[in-house]
């Protein structure tokens, strides 16, 4: 992984840390109290352990069977688990990538062949704006209340070649409803704007599990969806980011894909299939309960601290935001670091206006309850000035 | 994987196949006689099988131990196996990527921040020019005989911001000698040009295993090296592409890296460490013998066919080129396809002048001897017109 020294040597002003969220996450990787990144780091359940124990057998299966067959079984198990019965699995419109960020990079590179401007939900995880800007796109901020409030302004649609929405959003947990998606897709169909969705966190929230593909296909709009297995299960970074598209999308997605990869591992595909089957068999409900219990633990440990509020009361995703009142997130972050506890200050999520996040921290919930308990007690002590 | 229909729908002229080499490789994936892609698809050796059998135990180890420690053990085992004792493993200059192509994409995106022109060895595998062009770079062809013949012309160095060399080269197997690397690095140091090496195939050829990092560091030039575990062992696409750089490289490599990934799986790192240890313990010598035996089998099966020649008599890498004389490679490719046998026509390797490859085919050697035997006998029959 990159060291802080290597990263700060690349910035113009090495005297202050001005890194992105992922760079803050690198710092946390070696800590036992890493509540920074949104990856799943809790213990495997017995059902998941069984799949991991079968890896040598899955390897033998992957060697014997045609890879296209394995690939189809994997995406069918995963997409159906999340209610996506209408996804276009049969005709090569589902591209398996090493991760959702690789899918994002491929989408961005294909999109910039056609347009130079994209509207992006605000706030959202900062590697999305960074990848889009990195390929040369200009970004227009789409505030969450505008996105969820009703039809988008005609001027916005006229200004951009694409709209990018993370749903459920990271860090807010806000979900695009079926009704809003249908209207958004209709507006995109009318104007020829590409509608891109990042649904990486939808596994945590049944509100995000209605059949998006049915809505998108019915609209006739040009669309792209990025699905992700990476946030759900503690699979040591073994994951698949799926890049799915409409038949009419008109972007060179398969071409850019072919520049980057031949395919993801059939071993990972079989593992994902096994985990999706376990999830369908009760594991997903257990996961929802696990996250809800962890969220309740965090809220209980931080209860009654003057000035502290929980920003997203209805969120179901595996992260929780807190507002620190007058306190600055970076000050709290520094103090927690001395206790070897890592959270994520929220400024960078507000990619168009970082100061909006200056007083918020994000806490990852996909952790063992013990480390979550110890870390949030340390946070409580810091906030109470002990 | 992308279907041919999906790919050809993206090209301007859908009536003829004008895909890249990876697109031709997708077609072969479902075939038992896939000699197209350069990935390792032979059976695991007993030593390698032992590592795969231990995956559940390695998973448990990966959960328990700090990831930076595992990462360092993995790159040390792999780099030392290939004679790279001087690589900068201690100070964050080794970035683990999902694959060498992801490393390539990160390098290209970081490089284009500084320059718009790069010299690239010719021929070479076409996803390298495609990625470089894809981020907006202009390419200048560097012919192999110019590269290996002596100092580069001053005009070439003045024209480009970087030089990219695949060594050993794919498909030719040509290796940059220590003496040539030292001169090339000296010329780059004098002119400030970035020297980038892709050494993905070096595991097959001891001539490519002298300590490149010692030579590069001594020169003082700005350098980048892409190393790869992906071609050596039949690991079902589980691999690491390492992006390594000089301290003075001055490109935002770690920043672009942080946009794309937090890190590769520690399970894959432990597996690579195990495979590298097995290779150091005799496995690498066995692999060299395996490839040499397969090469001899191919040459024997194709011996005496009028007009057919072996283009790279001294190559040690896991692919073999044949020249078909008057025959067109695409004609032979089409006929072999009817037998469900897939090779790679070479035109696209010659990215600056495709017709140079019109009469050549590339045969992948990292396959079981049985499928190699059947496939090259079919090729013999096709070439003899039976």
Look at A4-8, A26-30, A283-287, B161-165 and tell me which has the smallest mean pLDDT.
Answer: A4-8
Chain A residue numbers with beta carbons less than 8 Å from the beta carbon of B98 are 98-99, 102
Q: Which residues are CB-contacts of A217 (< 8 A; sequence separation ≥ 6)? A: A86, A88, A246
Residue B15 has a pLDDT of 43
Question: Cβ separation of A67 and B266 shorter than 8 Å?
Answer: no
How far does the CA of residue B176 sit from the closest CA of chain A (Å)? 25
Residue B11 has a pLDDT of 59
Question: Cβ separation of B10 and A254 shorter than 8 Å?
Answer: yes
Chain B residue numbers with beta carbons less than 8 Å from the beta carbon of A5 are 91-92
How far does the CA of residue B257 sit from the closest CA of chain A (Å)? 8
Question: Cβ separation of A258 and B7 shorter than 8 Å?
Answer: yes
Distance, CA of A54 to CA of A267 (rounded, Å): 11
How far does the CA of residue A348 sit from the closest CA of chain B (Å)? 13
Burial grade of B217 (CB within 10 A; 0-12, 13-18, 19 or more): middle
Query: Hey, of B31, B45, B259, which one would you mutate to test binding to chain A, going by the most A CBs within 10 A of its CB?
Result: B259
B180-183, long-range: CB within 8 Å, 24+ apart, which pairs? B180/B147, B180/B148, B181/B212, B181/B215, B181/B216, B182/B215, B182/B218, B182/B219, B183/B150, B183/B151
Question: Cβ separation of A134 and B259 shorter than 8 Å?
Answer: yes
Check if the beta carbon of residue A196 is closer than 8 Å to that of residue A225.
Answer: yes
Residue A376's SS3 state is: helix
Question: Cβ separation of B59 and A68 shorter than 8 Å?
Answer: no
Tokens found for residue A57: 């057998």
pLDDT tens figures, A156-165: 999 999 999 9
- What mean pLDDT is predicted for residues A303-323? 98
> At which residue do the structure tokens 């390897």 appear?
A59
Tokens found for residue A22: 């992922």
Query: Hey, of B21, B93, B263, which one would you mutate to test binding to chain A, going by the most A CBs within 10 A of its CB?
Result: B263
Look at A32-41, A272-281, B372-381 and tell me which has the smallest mean pLDDT.
Answer: A32-41
Check if the beta carbon of residue B48 is closer than 8 Å to that of residue B278.
Answer: yes
Cross-chain CB nearest to A22 (options B1, B102, B262): B262
How far does the CA of residue A181 sit from the closest CA of chain B (Å)? 26
Chain A residue numbers with beta carbons less than 8 Å from the beta carbon of B260 are 99, 101-102, 105, 127, 131
Question: Cβ separation of B263 and A237 shorter than 8 Å?
Answer: yes
How far does the CA of residue B242 sit from the closest CA of chain A (Å)? 11
**Per-residue DSSP letter, A279:** I
The pLDDT-based confidence of A14 (bands split at 50, 70, 90) is very low
Question: Cβ separation of B59 and A52 shorter than 8 Å?
Answer: yes
Does the pLDDT of residue A15 top 50, yes or no? Answer: no
How far does the CA of residue B277 sit from the closest CA of chain A (Å)? 19
Chain B residue numbers with beta carbons less than 8 Å from the beta carbon of A20 are 255, 258-259
> At which residue do the structure tokens 């078909």 appear?
B324
| All domains of chain B in start order, with CATH | 4-44+282-384 (3.90.1150.10), 47-277 (3.40.640.10)
Tokens found for residue A276: 């999706």
> At which residue do the structure tokens 């790159």 appear?
B75
Mean pLDDT of each 10-residue bin along chain B, 386 residues long = 68 58 83 88 97 98 95 98 96 95 98 97 97 97 98 98 98 98 98 98 98 98 98 97 98 96 97 98 98 98 98 98 97 94 96 98 96 95 90
Check if the beta carbon of residue A120 is closer than 8 Å to that of residue A129.
Answer: yes
Residue B138's SS3 state is: strand
The pLDDT-based confidence of A6 (bands split at 50, 70, 90) is low
Does the pLDDT of residue A345 top 70, yes or no? Answer: yes
Question: Cβ separation of A265 and B237 shorter than 8 Å?
Answer: yes
Distance, CA of B206 to CA of A312 (rounded, Å): 58
User: What chain B residue is nearest to A113 in terms of C-alpha separation?
Assistant: B134
Check if the beta carbon of residue A209 is closer than 8 Å to that of residue A87.
Answer: no
Residue B304's SS3 state is: coil
Residue A60 has a pLDDT of 97
Q: Please state the ipTM of this predicted complex.
A: 0.95
Question: Cβ separation of A105 and B101 shorter than 8 Å?
Answer: no
Question: Cβ separation of B10 and A264 shorter than 8 Å?
Answer: no
How far does the CA of residue B201 sit from the closest CA of chain A (Å)? 17
How far does the CA of residue A377 sit from the closest CA of chain B (Å)? 23
User: What chain A residue is nearest to B57 in terms of C-alpha separation?
Assistant: A53
Interface A–B counts its CB contacts (< 8 A) at: 188
User: What chain A residue is nearest to B48 in terms of C-alpha separation?
Assistant: A56
Chain B residue numbers with beta carbons less than 8 Å from the beta carbon of A233 are none
Question: Cβ separation of A258 and B23 shorter than 8 Å?
Answer: yes
Question: Cβ separation of B261 and A101 shorter than 8 Å?
Answer: yes
Check if the beta carbon of residue A235 is closer than 8 Å to that of residue A213.
Answer: no
Check if the beta carbon of residue B194 is closer than 8 Å to that of residue B226.
Answer: no
Tokens found for residue B166: 């695949």
User: What chain A residue is nearest to B252 in terms of C-alpha separation?
Assistant: A10
How far does the CA of residue B384 sit from the closest CA of chain A (Å)? 31
Chain B residue numbers with beta carbons less than 8 Å from the beta carbon of A109 are 134-135
For residue B355, CA distances in Å to B93, B220, B347 come to 40, 39, 6
Question: Cβ separation of B29 and A68 shorter than 8 Å?
Answer: yes
How far does the CA of residue A153 sit from the closest CA of chain B (Å)? 30
**Any bridge partners for residue B319, and if so which?**
B364
pLDDT tens figures, A164-214: 999 999 999 999 999 999 999 999 999 999 999 999 999 999 999 999 999
User: What chain A residue is nearest to B244 in terms of C-alpha separation?
Assistant: A2
Q: For residue B246, give the nearest of B167, B179, B192, B175 by alpha carbon.
A: B192
Q: For residue B321, give the nearest of B173, B177, B181, B216 by alpha carbon.
A: B173
- What mean pLDDT is predicted for residues A38-62? 97
User: What chain A residue is nearest to B253 in terms of C-alpha separation?
Assistant: A10
Question: Cβ separation of B260 and A127 shorter than 8 Å?
Answer: yes
Q: Where are the alpha helices (DSSP H) in chain B?
A: 4-9, 21-28, 46-53, 55-64, 67-81, 100-111, 127-134, 144-149, 154-159, 178-191, 212-219, 253-260, 266-278, 284-301, 329-338, 369-383
Could you please report the per-residue DSSP string of B160-208? -SEEEEESS-TTT-----HHHHHHHHHHHHHHTPEEEEE-TTGGG-GGG
Chain A residue numbers with beta carbons less than 8 Å from the beta carbon of B25 are 262
**Any bridge partners for residue B330, and if so which?**
none
Check if the beta carbon of residue B68 is closer than 8 Å to that of residue A1.
Answer: yes
Question: Cβ separation of A259 and B134 shorter than 8 Å?
Answer: yes
């Amino acid at each position: 992984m990159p060291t802080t020294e290597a990263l700060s040597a690349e910035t113009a002003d090495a005297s202050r840390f001005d890194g992105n969220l992922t760079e803050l996450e690198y710092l946390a990787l070696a800590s036992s109290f890493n509540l920074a990144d949104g990856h799943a780091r809790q213990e495997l359940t017995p059902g998941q352990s069984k799949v991991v124990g079968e890896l040598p057998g899955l390897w033998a299966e992957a060697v014997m069977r045609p890879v296209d067959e394995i690939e189809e079984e994997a995406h069918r198990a995963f997409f159906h688990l999340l209610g996506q019965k209408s996804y276009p699995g049969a005709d090569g419109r589902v591209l398996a990538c090493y991760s959702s960020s690789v899918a994002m990079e491929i989408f961005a590179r294909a999109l910039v062949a056609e347009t130079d401007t994209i509207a992006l939900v605000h706030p959202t995880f900062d590697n999305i704006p960074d990848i889009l800007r990195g390929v040369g796109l200009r970004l227009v901020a789409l505030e969450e209340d505008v996105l969820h409030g009703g039809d988008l302004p005609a001027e916005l649609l006229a200004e951009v070649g694409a709209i990018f929405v993370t749903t459920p959003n990271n860090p807010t947990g806000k979900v695009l409803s079926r009704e809003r998606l249908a209207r958004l897709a209709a507006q995109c169909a009318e104007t020829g704007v590409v509608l891109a969705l990042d649904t990486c966190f939808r596994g945590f929230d049944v509100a995000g599990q209605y059949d998006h593909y049915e809505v998108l296909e019915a609209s006739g709009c040009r669309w792209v969806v990025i699905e992700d297995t990476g946030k759900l299960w503690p699979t040591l970074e073994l994951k698949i980011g799926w890049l799915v598209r409409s038949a009419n999308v008109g972007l060179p997605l398969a071409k850019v894909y072919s520049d980057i990869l031949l395919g993801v591992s059939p071993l990972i595909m079989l593992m994902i299939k096994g985990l999706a089957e376990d999830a369908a068999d009760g594991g997903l409900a257990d996961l929802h309960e696990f996250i809800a219990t962890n969220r309740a633990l965090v809220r209980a440990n931080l209860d009654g601290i003057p000035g502290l509020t929980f920003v997203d009361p209805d969120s179901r995703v595996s992260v929780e935001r807190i507002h620190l009142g007058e306190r600055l997130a970076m000050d709290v972050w520094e103090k927690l670091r001395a206790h070897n506890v890592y959270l994520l200050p929220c400024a960078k999520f507000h990619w168009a206006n970082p100061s909006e996040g200056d007083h918020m921290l994000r806490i990852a919930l996909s952790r063992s309850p013990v480390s979550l308990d110890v870390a949030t007690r340390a946070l409580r002590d810091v906030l109470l000035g002990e």
